[in-house]
Amino acid sequence: MALPPTMEVPMRIVGLSGSLSRQSRTTTLVEDMVCRLAAQLGPAQTRLVEVAALAPALAGTLHPRDALPALYNAFAALRTADILVVGTPVQKGSYTGLLKHFLDLLDPDDLAGKTVVLAATGAAADPLSIIDHQLRPLFAYFGTHTVPTGLFARDGDFQVDVDGSYGLSSAALLAQADRIADEVARLTRGTLVGVPVVA
């Protein structure tokens, strides 16, 4: 049965943090971008998937059929998402091995056609190299539409709160995130084509 014209189907926005720790700059960056997109595109359903929380399950999983419930549910969240925000800390010039292992367990068609925002954190001298030369080809393999502008944050772009959690403090980074939200809005309306170029 068709939905009444006044009822909108919520956009499903899923954040995927490749950080190896539960409380991290990368997770903060991903969460902020997810919330920003939800505010821009609403109504929206949001979810955060942290590979750090799935590490014990990932360690013993070599095939998707062997996935424990928590891991299976994380895969399902990505498969049913409309938009993904994927972030990773830069480790030895690339994304984390745990993130790669997680993605290796997905079928190549699981993410096809999805809009993906790429984000990274670290002290890289060339921040675009991790996004354009590492993450973008990876998600091109999955047949996704990566947003043209990537989001890179350095340590100085964050403030540390009294409880040890992080918050974004860079006006330039926040403005960049707003521009990305605008790009995603145009992508989801079919007026912008994802290309392997970061503005």
pLDDT of residue 4: 53
pLDDT band at 199 (very low <50, low <70, confident <90, very high): very low
More confident residue, 123 or 61: 61
Q: What is the pLDDT of residues 119-166, one digit of tens each?
A: 999 986 676 789 999 999 999 999 999 999 999 999 999 999 888 889
d(CA 41, CA 189): 10
pLDDT of residue 93: 86
- Phi then psi for residue 175, to 5 deg, are -65, -40
Least confident of 66-80, 119-133, 170-184: 119-133
Q: What is the pLDDT of residues 24-33, one digit of tens each?
A: 999 999 999 9
Interaxial angle between packed helices 25-41 and 171-188, expressed in degrees from 0 to 180 and rounded to the nearest 10: 50
3-state SS record for the chain:
CCCCCCCCCCEEEEEEECCCCCCCHHHHHHHHHHHHHHHHHCCEEEEEEECCCCHHHHHCCCCHHHCCHHHHHHHHHHHCCCEEEEEEECECCECCHHHHHHHHCCCCCCCCCCEEEEEEECCCCCHHHHHHHHHHHHHHHCCCEECCCCEEECHHHEEECCCCCEEECCHHHHHHHHHHHHHHHHHHCCCCCCCCCCC
Q: Class for domain 11-188, per CATH?
A: alpha beta
Domain chopping of the chain, boundaries: 11-188
